[in-house]
Copies of this chain bind each other. A is one copy, B any other.
Amino acid sequence: MHATPNFASIGALLGDPTRAAMLEALYDGRAWTAGELAQAANVTPQTASAHLQKLVQANLLAVAAQGRHRYFRLASSDVADALEALSILATRRLVRPWLRSGAEPLHHARTCYDHLAGTLGVSLVESLLRQRCLTEGDDAYSVTPAGRALLRRLDIDVEAARSRRRSFARKCLDWSERRYHLGGALGAALAECLFARKWLRQAAGSRAVSVTPLGERGFRELNLLQE
């Protein structure tokens, strides 16, 4: 048994205090810039850069360049699972913040080009993921049979959206939430539908969006937007 087990390299990556501090910050599921992570881990930017390179190299983190910022986030939920598994062995446990925060109001809901963004957009897509209406790929979401059924209930024509030339169900990174929401043709069709049904209302001359009482009821019936 001369070959070192494959988990050793991952353990070594997670074992360094600086990298661990970065991963703990990213454990909230949002995307952070390199500079923010350097600050969170209390090291200089060049040190942080070296660590982030290793983590990306090992596919623990994904990175998206935006202007002169580079946004890093956990590459998949498997990474969060591994951190959690290690934490179980330690005395204190990590708590996934987006799971415990149930009752926070939908602040900062807004549109992003032609689809929903902000807390509302992110919560909505996460509800859909939790209910297995969508599955998550690298750059896009896929619609499951359950998702097709839900969209049919809302009278959204999935196939029409799919046939358009623009991408179908793109993952769009939200710069305030630092999380993904649903863009593409499907995101636009969904937003259009929710406004048409008056579940959502947009104040004139503003991108801010609010949920109407009608929408409250509708989302509740579909088991969306709730913990």
Chain A interface residues toward B at CB < 8 A: 1-2, 4-17, 19-21, 23-25, 40-42, 58-60, 76, 78-79, 81-94
Contact = CB atoms under 8 A, between A and B. Distances in A.
Contact of A17 (B4, B15, B90): B4
Interface of A is mostly: helix
A13 B12 CA distance: 8
Copies in the complex: 2
A59 B94 CA distance: 10
Given A4-B20, A10-B15, 7 more contacts: A5-B20, A5-B87, A7-B24, A11-B12, A11-B86, A13-B15, A81-B88
Contacts of A17: 4, 8
Given A1-B21, A82-B85, A10 B90 contact: yes
A106 B137 CA distance: 29
Contacts of A11: 11-16, 20, 86
7 contacts: A5-B20, A7-B14, A10-B86, A11-B13, A11-B20, A15-B15, A59-B93
Contacts of A7: 14, 20, 24, 83, 86-87, 89-90, 94
Nearest to A84: B85
Contacts of A24: 1, 5, 7
The interface centre, meaning the residue of A7, A21, A40 with most chain B CB atoms within 10 A of its CB, is A7
A42 B2 contact: yes
Nearest to A40: B1
Contacts of A14: 7-8, 11, 14-15, 86
